[in-house]
């Protein structure tokens, strides 16, 4: 906005107001008298441009964007703590019960035991907020002494931890309040409220799915995969607790009977014949190829809530695989044994199954 208000341009404008009968060359008395003020003005215009950027949601960042969003009742979501499932065994390989509050480490972050699920099975909550709590699977090391403990294993992600909401995500939610009218239990209202619950990535809202007053909420988790039964139960309890449905005890309005369900994962097997560059083998590129296909499936999953249904396309899989280092060409691509694209139903997302290379 103020790009032209540079020191040079300000000096030129100021000197233009000085009569030509006065020496205006650099180093002259009048030049040296004006220059300090012009430099300060140039700095002020730079600062003014920064302030203008901070004042509007499309350019504001960090704290400024947080405050701007709060004007419309949109609050930045804080980082949350992952809830995991742990298995504990004694020296004979049997299940071992351990005290609640016991702490374990994966070598990077710590976890605290909060609830018993079954014999030798417990809920653990990460002590560090964010997605880092979702990442590790494997052996745990006790921080506290536990008599009889021989093995501790960190397994399922029950409720994914989430990082603090990014500027772009917050900005998108801010603009969403301007574009959609979320009110009194309409589709936009349900979707907005469900997305704010820990572990939820997005949701599809199906109104009157089982008659008047019924609402179905289909979830995808914040890792863009099929949510765990524990997350589904958690969201159900937040929205419309079982045993009190329709009574307005949760977030749902009085009279709305809400059923929360998980998105369905459809396994997609992929086969093809790859031509690899010199020095590369299938074993060397296999994981990168799988990750490339997974990234495509994640992109599809992120668009699921806004799409009537997802279509897994052969061409998109081939494009992703061809971007893998060491892959020169791809041919004969099939998904689930066929060469045609696969159209999923409205409440399904793709999950990668077996990946086969014809030359392997």
| pLDDT tens-digit readout, 60-114 | 999 999 999 999 889 999 999 999 999 999 999 899 999 999 999 999 999 999 9
The separation between CA 74 and the C-alpha centre of its own chain, rounded to angstroms, equals 17
CB 256 within 8 Å of CB 212: no
Could you tell me the pLDDT band of residue 136, with boundaries at 50, 70 and 90? Answer: very high
Note the pLDDT tens digit of each residue in 232-291.
999 999 999 999 999 999 999 999 999 999 999 999 999 999 999 999 999 999 999 999
What residue spans define the domains of the chain?
A: 7-55, 83-159, 180-262, 265-357
Confidence (pLDDT) at 179 = 83
Whole-number mean pLDDT of the chain? Answer: 94
When pLDDT is averaged across residues 288-316 and rounded to a whole number, the result is 97
pLDDT digits (tens, 9 = 90+) for 172-206: 999 988 887 777 789 999 999 999 999 999 999 99
Q: 116: which 2 tokens?
A: 């018993």
The per-residue pLDDT for 359 is 58
List CB contacts of 17: < 8 A, sequence separation 6 or more: none
Classified as helix, coil or strand, 344 is coil
- pLDDT (0 to 100) of residue 180: 76
Q: For the segment 153-176, what is each residue's pLDDT rounded down to a tens digit?
A: 999 999 999 999 999 999 999 998
| For residue 360, pLDDT beyond 50 | no
Nearest CA to 51 among 91, 12, 2, 10?
2
- β-strands 257-262, 214-221 pairing: parallel
Q: How confident is the model at residue 146 (pLDDT cuts 50, 70, 90)?
A: very high
Tell me what pLDDT residue 189 has. 92
Locate 114 and state its tokens: 């909060």
């Amino acid at each position: 906005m103020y790009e032209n208000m540079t020191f040079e341009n300000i000096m030129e404008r100021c000197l233009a107001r000085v009569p030509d009968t006065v020496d205006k060359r650099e180093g002259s008395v009048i030049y040296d008298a004006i220059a300090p003020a012009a430099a300060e003005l140039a700095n002020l215009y730079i600062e003014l441009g920064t302030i203008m950027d901070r004042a509007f949601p499309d350019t504001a960042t960090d704290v400024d964007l947080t405050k701007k969003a709060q004007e419309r009742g949109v609050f930045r979501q804080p980082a949350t703590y992952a809830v995991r499932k742990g298995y504990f065994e004694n020296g004979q390989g049997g299940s071992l019960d351990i005290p609640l509050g016991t702490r374990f480490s994966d070598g990077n972050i710590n976890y605290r035991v909060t609830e018993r699920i079954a014999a030798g099975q417990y809920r653990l909550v990460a002590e560090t907020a964010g997605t880092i709590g979702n990442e590790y699977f494997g052996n745990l090391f006790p921080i506290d002494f536990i008599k009889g403990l021989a093995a501790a294993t960190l397994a399922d992600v029950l409720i994914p931890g989430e990082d603090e909401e990014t500027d772009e995500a917050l900005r998108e939610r801010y603009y969403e309040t301007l574009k959609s009218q979320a009110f009194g239990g309409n589709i936009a209202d349900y979707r907005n409220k469900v997305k704010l619950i820990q572990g939820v990535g997005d949701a599809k809202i199906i109104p009157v799915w089982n008659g008047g007053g019924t609402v179905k909420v289909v979830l995808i988790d914040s890792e863009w995969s099929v949510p765990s039964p524990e997350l589904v139960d958690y969201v159900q309890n937040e929205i419309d607790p079982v045993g009190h449905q329709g009574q307005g005890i949760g977030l749902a309005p009085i009279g709305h009977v809400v059923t929360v369900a998980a998105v369905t994962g459809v396994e997609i097997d992929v086969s093809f014949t790859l031509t690899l560059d010199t020095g590369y083998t299938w074993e060397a590129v296999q994981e990168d190829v799988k990750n490339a296909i997974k990234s495509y499936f994640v992109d599809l999953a992120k668009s699921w809530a806004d799409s009537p249904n997802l279509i897994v396309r052969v061409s998109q899989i081939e494009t992703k695989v061809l971007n893998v280092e060491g892959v020169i060409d791809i041919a004969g691509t099939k998904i689930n044994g066929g060469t045609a694209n696969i159209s999923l139903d409205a409440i399904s997302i793709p999950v990668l199954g077996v990946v086969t290379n014809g030359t392997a």
